[in-house]
Amino acid sequence: MLIWVCALHCEAKPVIDFYRLKKSHDDNAFDLYRGDNMACIISGIGKLASAAASAWIAARYEDAPSIAWINLGIAGAASCELGSIFALNQVTDADTGQRYYPAPGADSVLPGYACLTLGQPSEDYRENQLYDMEASGFMHSTLRFSSAELTQSIKIVSDNQQHKTGKDRPRISALIHRHIELIDQQANSLLALNQEIATLEIPAECWQQLTAMAHFSQTQKNRLRVLWRYLMNRDLSTEQLFGKIGSCASSKAIIEALEQLSYRESEGL
């Protein structure tokens, strides 16, 4: 399952058209478009809106064996050429300082770039950094449901110090549509990885030993399974993983320890 999260309809339109997604009339919390093994949700502007939309749709697909995510949208930059496309490899929340590390695969067709997520629009651009308003909220939310390597953010530069696309929504759609084949390649690579991770089975004896260490809610079990599968895919042995959590006294501590290990592993990708 691949879920696209876009702030605006004009950002989502190239994806909706390319994959021929159909609008769902069963939902009213957010505009949602669906296709085969794929969905696209329109969150609205801002990191809180992006986080809320991601959590909402994750709950709708909680029975999916594994979920891959792409946050697709526009960003500002100091000197990047208008229409440049990047896969974020670092996201920093300007308000909290929290950093996230999306992990585009080794076969990513897009160059990497860092992004600062702001709470309010700004044109005070710094060099070597993109600016947006959604990526940190998207990352904060989706990392609760999927691993870093299944959570990506693709940004197209719509504004720089010389040119302003601003609120020209047809122009925004055109900038994104220009790269739709590259975006499709990135999505297909992510879907293939998602399928690979979804088929990883945690041995029954290992799962019983793991869940016997503390009381886990069903939500925590889902998160535990995601993290364990991801770390298995990073070639960490069962013995290594149990060694990392052996001193944890609660389900929350176990999950936090595995999340920290997952973040460290994703930084190396």
Q: How far apart are CA 204 and CA 60, in angstroms?
A: 27
Q: What stretch of H or E contains 159?
A: strand 151-159
Number of H helices, E strands in the chain: 9, 10
Structural domain containing residue 142: 2-197
Last residue of a domain, one of 164, 197, 230: 197
Q: How far apart are CA 115 and CA 94, in angstroms?
A: 10
- Pair (224, 212) in one structural domain: yes
What tokens were used for 127? 């060099």
- Pair (154, 223) in one structural domain: no
Interhelix angle for 251-267 vs 218-233, to 10°?
30
State the total domains in the chain: 2
Mean confidence (pLDDT) of the chain: 90
- Pair (175, 213) in one structural domain: no
Last residue of a domain, one of 197, 229, 255: 197
Using one digit for the tens of pLDDT, what is the confidence trace for 39-53?
999 999 999 999 999
pLDDT band at 181 (very low <50, low <70, confident <90, very high): very high
* Residue linked to tokens 């992006």: 50
The whole model's pTM is what?
A: 0.83
Q: Tell me the mean pLDDT in the region 56-80.
A: 91
Last residue of a domain, one of 181, 197, 213: 197
pLDDT at res. 218: 81
Using one digit for the tens of pLDDT, what is the confidence trace for 123-155?
788 888 999 999 999 999 998 888 888 899 999
